[in-house]
Amino acid sequence: MNRHDIAWCPGCGDFPIRATLEKVLRELPVAQKDIVLTSGIGQAAKMPHYLPYSYFNGLHGRSLPLAVGIKLARPDLTVIAVSGDGCHYGEGGNHFLHTIRRRLDITILVCDNKVYGLTKGQSSPTTDLGMKNALDPQGNQNTSFSPLAVALVAGAPFVARTFAGDPQHMETVLREAILFKGPSVVDILQPCVSFNKVNTYAWYRERIYRMEEPQKDRYEAIRLAEGWGDRIPTGIFWRDGQFICREGKEMFRRHVTESAVARLLNKPCIMMR
Amino acid sequence: MEFNVLIGGEAGQGMFSVELELTEILSRLGYHFFATKNYMSRIRGGHNYHMIRVAERPVHALSGKPWDMVVAMDSAETERRHRPALREGGAFIGADRIGQLEAEATKTFQDVTVTSTLLTGLILSFIGADPAAAQAVAPDEPARTALAKGREFAARWGLEGPRSLSPKAGDHCKLDGNQALALGALLGGCQFVAGYPMTPATSILHYFSAVAPEVPVHFEQAEDEIAALNMALGASFAGLRSMAATSGGGFALMTEAVSLAGMTETPVVVIDAQRPGPATGLPTRTEQGDLDFVLHAGHGEFPRVIFAPGSVEEAISLARRAFDVADRWQIPVFVLTDQYLADSVQVMEGRVPTKILRRETPVFGAGYRRYEITDSGVSPLTYPGLSEARVEIDSDEHTEDGKITEDIGLRARMVDKRLRKFEGLRQEAVMPTRFGDRRATTVLVSWGSNRLIVNEAVEALRAEGIAVSSIHFGQVYPLTPPMARGLARKRLICIENNATGQFERLLRRELGLKAAHRILQYNGECFTVAGLVERVRKILG
């Protein structure tokens, strides 16, 4: 990929995310051909275009139902949905909740810069209360969405936060998330150098601290995940060792047979009664 | 000779059970019959009625003639509404008789729901069905006992055999419209279905969830219709023939993903089981109001095909074909049905293709380009994980290898490539079917579920000495000039279940055919043969 083909601003957090994801995927014990990325719309959603894997870059907010369809159809594929905070938490908020609930082995990566980049600087679901943006000259009137606490409450068995300014940490967290068997959610804090003048690399560096271990108690994980402000924890909040992942059915290149259809025709009425 | 019965009552009083039990036995006995229902969007109360027609020749519509029997499971409403339409000398089973049947069910079977089996036995006796044969096909011993008891009541009330009918349909399959579509989808190689429950499409989803444990198919209940069609597109991209089924309101949520299918050239089939709109409308009644909507659904310009089957056989064959067309042309294909066809149980007389179609899974090398520009507009299609060939799919305008582009020259070439598919699609369009004497100057035009009602009306009119023929469009888009052959000089009467004559306008726009008259119905009820004959007669003077 030529540097000039990339649509991100110089200094964008998407660059280190891309480089780390590329390294993690390359080192994954999975063949390159068996990895599939989905994304929605936004600057972060262009990520698959800059990585050497099959992808389905769909519509705004819809990367997750695409991922669900792919994973159900082809359990043999490793499926990663990567998009921004507006895409996963705003337009696709309902899919975020329900994809977690489906218990499929899908990795949800959220490049969270707390602002809309591609549409040039409007508030996103994770924008802090009171922050001034293109459509909020008086300051954002909405409570900031707490994605990881919501993910935990929805039943996500793997929930983590990392920081685009800390590639080494990001690498560990992304690898663990992808290798985890079940729906994993990683919120990647990422400065937007063009439209978010508050949550900068320096702002994060002053506040971020690493948690060394996942929490033993899910409610403690929720409490910590909800925390925001002077001290912002990164790392794996929760990893459910007992989680039972839903196994897909092998269907690809297996076909319904004529004798099976003949059998089905003799089934009694399947109408609702 | 035929027999027409209406069974009415409040939702939950067991009318549907009578329909299910009676049609099952009629079918096993080899009778020609047709059953449909008129029900409200509620679980209890209100007024629902089920209508069953039994005959000695194929029947695929409501006759619209006075009832030979009216069964009132409730105390007053069925009698008030439907007894006036009972023919002179017809049988009325009212509250007192239902009370006796219920008492018998409770006393002998300790189960009031056995009333439906008693009624089934009574009705079978009324049409002179062979008791021994009926016993032989009953599902179990309690049912056999109840059917015999039902016959005793018929004898006691003097209702034995006044409409003696012979079974003449032979060994056959009985299907409702949705079962036919689901079966057609299976035959078309569909392996993935996603949906959100919505009447009248829900039973298609039920079918797939019921068969999934036995065959390599999967049904996923989506959080909404937006997710449903995106899931289907994801599954199609991953390698399975896929489908979403819904009604108009759910389809409204799918339109964004329809456009995505158009841009990404991802094969997919969508069934819209229409019901009266706008908005929630009449959730459980029928209408053909979504043609314009499905025709134009999705922003931007891209090719599509719309089928609208007019019989259970056609529902099977067109649903099957839909998957083949979607795959070969890499487009969204739509199947329009409606509550009437969905909820009508019919005997399948015709033969349908039963060979199961399969998706090809070609393997390409590393130089594979998903959107290679070709003469036909169709690019090579493969699926992730088969080889080093990366399958790169983008909702933005894209290059031949699936990368975002804003190259305006390439944009135009990509639009042309996608729209070029129309040329091939027109060549393989499904021709309309004709019925009746082609020399007649008047032609009744229909599409979708009205086909067999119209055809029976053509026969009834001929019996009265009025010569008309009919033409039915099972493919409503694209329409091609050969479809219009011989119609330009005819007097066309377009028959539709909507208020604005959507297909009549489409015929004018696409083929330059102008219908002289329209017969429209949009109260939520289907046409009946007698009702249609009356309206045609009025037009022809």
3-state SS string over B11-76?
ECCCHHHHHHHHHHHHHHHCCEEEEEEECCCCCCEEEEEEEEEEECCCCCCCCCCCEEEEEECCCC
Nearest CA-CA distance, residue B373 and chain A, Å: 19
Residue A60 has pLDDT above 90, yes or no: yes
Mean pLDDT of A178-195: 97
Looking at chain B from residue 312 to 331, which residues have their Cβ under 8 Å from any Cβ of chain A?
A: none
Nearest residue on chain A to B18, alpha-carbon basis: A273
Mean pLDDT of A64-75: 98
Question: How much of chain B, in percent, has pLDDT values that exceed 90?
Answer: 96
A1 vs A135 pLDDT, higher one = A135
A-B contacts (CB, under 8 Å): 205
What does the DSSP 8-state code read for residue B199? T
Instruction: Yes or no: say if A256 and A265 are a contact pair by the CB < 8 Å rule.
Output: no
Q: Which strands make up the sheet holding A78-84, listed edge to edge?
A: A208-210, A232-239, A158-163, A184-189, A106-112, A78-84, A35-39, A54-57, B392-394
Mean pLDDT of B328-334: 98
B301 vs A2 pLDDT, higher one = B301
Testing the interface with A: which of B354, B392, B406, B407 to mutate, by most A Cβ within 10 A?
B392
pLDDT band at A2 (very low <50, low <70, confident <90, very high): low
d(CA B212, CA B215): 5
pLDDT band at B47 (very low <50, low <70, confident <90, very high): very high
CATH 3.40.50.970 intervals, chain B: 174-348
d(CA A78, CA A105): 8
Q: C-alpha distances in angstroms, B59 versus B23, B36, B434?
A: 14, 12, 18
d(CA A39, CA B394): 9
What topology does CATH give the domain B174-348?
Answer: Rossmann fold (3.40.50)
Q: CB B164: neighbour CB atoms within 10 A?
A: 12
Mean pLDDT of B97-108: 97
Residue B323 has pLDDT above 80, yes or no: yes
**Cα A239-A241-A244 angle, rounded to 5 deg:** 110
d(CA A92, CA B256): 13
Residue A179 has pLDDT above 50, yes or no: yes
What 3-state class would DSSP assign to A33? helix
Contact with chain B for residue A3, Cβ under 8 A: no
Residue A221 has pLDDT above 70, yes or no: yes
Mean pLDDT of B223-246: 98
Helix (H), strand (E) at residue B408 = helix B408-427
Residue A271 has pLDDT above 50, yes or no: no
Nearest CA-CA distance, residue B210 and chain A, Å: 8
A2 vs B229 pLDDT, higher one = B229
Residue A44 has pLDDT above 80, yes or no: yes
Q: What letter represents residue A113's amino acid?
A: N
Nearest residue on chain A to B199, alpha-carbon basis: A272
Are A56 and B237 inside 8 Å of each other by CB?
A: yes
Contact with chain A for residue B192, Cβ under 8 A: yes
Residue A146 has φ and ψ, to the nearest 5°, of -105, 85
**Residue A89: how many CA atoms within 13 Å on its side-chain side?**
27
Name every chain B residue with its beta carbon within 8 A of the beta carbon of A57: 393-396, 404
Residue A268 has pLDDT above 70, yes or no: no
Nearest residue on chain B to A250, alpha-carbon basis: B216
The minimal CB distance from B233 to the residues A52, A69, A72 is found for: A69
Q: Which strands make up the sheet holding B268-274, listed edge to edge?
A: B218-221, B190-195, B241-246, B268-274, B332-338, B305-307, B475-477
The overall average pLDDT reported for chain B is 97
Domains and CATH numbers, chain A: 3-265 (3.40.50.970)
Nearest CA-CA distance, residue A163 and chain B, Å: 27
Helix (H), strand (E) at residue B341 = helix B339-342
Nearest CA-CA distance, residue A69 and chain B, Å: 4
The contacts of residue B292 (CB under 8 Å, 6+ apart) are: B502
**Residue A18: how many CA atoms within 13 Å on its side-chain side?**
21
Are A73 and B238 inside 8 Å of each other by CB?
A: yes
Instruction: Yes or no: say if B329 and B421 are a contact pair by the CB < 8 Å rule.
Output: yes
Contact with chain A for residue B17, Cβ under 8 A: yes
CATH 3.40.920.10 intervals, chain B: 2-156
d(CA A52, CA A146): 32
The per-residue pLDDT for B184 is 96
Lowest average pLDDT, out of B17-21, B28-32, B354-358, B417-421, goes to B354-358
Question: How much of chain B, in percent, has pLDDT values that exceed 70?
Answer: 100
- Digit-coded pLDDT (tens) for A133-142: 999 999 999 9
Q: CB B189: neighbour CB atoms within 10 A?
A: 19
| Cα R_g (chain A), whole angstroms | 20
Residue A121 has pLDDT above 50, yes or no: yes
The per-residue pLDDT for A31 is 98
Testing the interface with B: which of A35, A87, A251, A265 to mutate, by most B Cβ within 10 A?
A251
Nearest residue on chain B to A36, alpha-carbon basis: B384
Nearest CA-CA distance, residue B391 and chain A, Å: 5
Are B354 and A261 inside 8 Å of each other by CB?
A: yes
Q: Name the residue with tokens 């179990």.
A: B140
No. of H helices and E strands in chain B? Answer: 17, 20
The per-residue pLDDT for B501 is 98
d(CA B235, CA B246): 18
Contact with chain A for residue B371, Cβ under 8 A: no
Are B240 and A273 inside 8 Å of each other by CB?
A: no
Evaluate whether ipTM surpasses 0.90.
yes
Are B216 and A68 inside 8 Å of each other by CB?
A: no
Instruction: Yes or no: say if B2 and B169 are a contact pair by the CB < 8 Å rule.
Output: no
What 3-state class would DSSP assign to A175? helix
Q: Is the peptide bond before A268 cis (omega within 30 degrees of 0)?
A: no
Q: What letter represents residue A171's amino acid?
A: E
Are A58 and B233 inside 8 Å of each other by CB?
A: yes
Nearest CA-CA distance, residue B27 and chain A, Å: 11
Domain B2-156: assigned CATH number? 3.40.920.10
Looking at chain A from residue 70 to 89, which residues have their Cβ under 8 Å from any Cβ of chain B?
A: 70, 72-74, 76-77
Q: What letter represents residue B371's amino acid?
A: Y
The per-residue pLDDT for A263 is 80
Residue A272 has pLDDT above 80, yes or no: no
Name every chain B residue with its beta carbon within 8 A of the beta carbon of A97: 223
- The per-residue DSSP string of A76-125 comes to TSEEEEEEEHIIIIIITHHHHHHHHHTT-SEEEEEEE-SS-TTTTS---T
Name every chain B residue with its beta carbon within 8 A of the beta carbon of A47: none
Are A55 and B393 inside 8 Å of each other by CB?
A: yes
Mean pLDDT of B506-524: 98
The per-residue pLDDT for A267 is 53
Looking at chain B from residue 250 to 269, which residues have their Cβ under 8 Å from any Cβ of chain A?
A: 256-257, 260, 264
Name every chain B residue with its beta carbon within 8 A of the beta carbon of A55: 390-393, 402
Nearest CA-CA distance, residue B1 and chain A, Å: 28
Contact with chain B for residue A103, Cβ under 8 A: no
Are A36 and B191 inside 8 Å of each other by CB?
A: no
- The per-residue DSSP string of B115-175 comes to HHHHHHHHHHHHTT--HHHHHHHSSSHHHHHHHHHHHHHHHHTT-SSTT-----S-S-EEE
Nearest CA-CA distance, residue A29 and chain B, Å: 15
The per-residue pLDDT for B161 is 85
d(CA B89, CA B91): 7
| Cα R_g (chain B), whole angstroms | 25
Nearest CA-CA distance, residue A259 and chain B, Å: 10
CATH 3.40.50.920 intervals, chain B: 433-540
The minimal CB distance from A54 to the residues B222, B227, B392 is found for: B392
Q: Does domain B433-540 have CATH number 3.40.50.920?
A: yes
Mean pLDDT of A13-42: 98
Are A261 and B224 inside 8 Å of each other by CB?
A: no
Nearest CA-CA distance, residue A266 and chain B, Å: 8
Nearest residue on chain A to B390, alpha-carbon basis: A54
What pTM was computed for the model? 0.97
Q: Name the residue with tokens 């409570």.
A: A143
Contact with chain B for residue A46, Cβ under 8 A: yes
Mean pLDDT of B499-527: 98
Name every chain A residue with its beta carbon within 8 A of the beta carbon of B33: none
The per-residue pLDDT for B173 is 87
Contact with chain B for residue A253, Cβ under 8 A: yes
Strand B517-520 with B468-473, pairing: unpaired
**Cα B297-B302-B303 angle, rounded to 5 deg:** 95
pLDDT band at B406 (very low <50, low <70, confident <90, very high): very high
Nearest CA-CA distance, residue A106 and chain B, Å: 13
The minimal CB distance from A70 to the residues B191, B237, B403 is found for: B237
pLDDT band at A270 (very low <50, low <70, confident <90, very high): very low
Residue A273 has pLDDT above 50, yes or no: no
Instruction: Yes or no: say if A130 and A139 are a contact pair by the CB < 8 Å rule.
Output: yes
Contact with chain A for residue B48, Cβ under 8 A: no
The minimal CB distance from B206 to the residues A62, A97, A270 is found for: A270
